[in-house]
Amino acid sequence: MNWKPNPFAILGLAMISTPIIAQAKIYVSAEQAQKILFPNKQLTKAPILITDDLQERMRVASSIRYPFQGERIWKAADGSWLIIDEVVGKHETITYAVGIAPNGSILGVEILEYVESYGYEIAEAHWRQQFAGKTIKDPIKLNQDIQNIGGATLSCKHLTDGVKRVLTLYDLALKAK
């Protein structure tokens, strides 16, 4: 008996054994985000200890369970802040920076690193511009004052919630410093 391989079986095996590769896209570094959000300003690293109480209050305000890391905070002499945070998109982390003016309003949001294989549209400037000028008094809610992007709903929601969390951190722990 002569064995002849089934071409569909070979194709199926090739598809099963071929890894799906998703590569991280680095948009800007922390230093570049500083220069974009705070041109001509000197920032000084200003890490803070995130207590359990503060972590819980930030979680309640934003619904984000991913722990906030207090060592990625910088302050300018005029009272501006740069805060770098991470949220989980659909499966992977999104690293982003938020620039906050001395009056507590958002100057801008920069995506530093995006690992997901889809939903990358949140890195587009016109979508991120929706956050500019927002303060802790704004809802900062997806489909309320922040528009969704079809196909990137979880990334949009989680980043929006993350920005709300950063503003909560500013309001509770940084604005008085």
What pLDDT does 24 receive?
A: 73
What pLDDT does 118 receive?
A: 84
The answer to whether residue 81 sits within a structural domain is yes
The answer to whether residue 143 sits within a structural domain is yes
The answer to whether residue 2 sits within a structural domain is no
The answer to whether residue 114 sits within a structural domain is yes
The answer to whether residue 1 sits within a structural domain is no
What pLDDT does 12 receive?
A: 53
Q: What is the number of alpha carbons within 13 Å of residue 38 lying toward its C-beta?
A: 25
What pLDDT does 30 receive?
A: 96
Distance CA 129, CA 142 (A): 14
The answer to whether residue 117 sits within a structural domain is yes
Distance CA 96, CA 9 (A): 44
What pLDDT does 76 receive?
A: 98
What pLDDT does 10 receive?
A: 52
Could you give the C-alpha distances from 164 to 3, 105, 156, in angstroms and in order? 63, 12, 12
- pLDDT, one tens digit per residue, over 114-157 is 998 888 999 999 999 999 999 999 999 999 999 999 999 999 99
Q: Which segments of the chain have a pLDDT < 50?
A: 13-15, 17-18
The answer to whether residue 15 sits within a structural domain is no
CA 24 to chain centre: 14
| Total tally of structural domains belonging to the chain | 1
Range of the domain at 133: 24-174
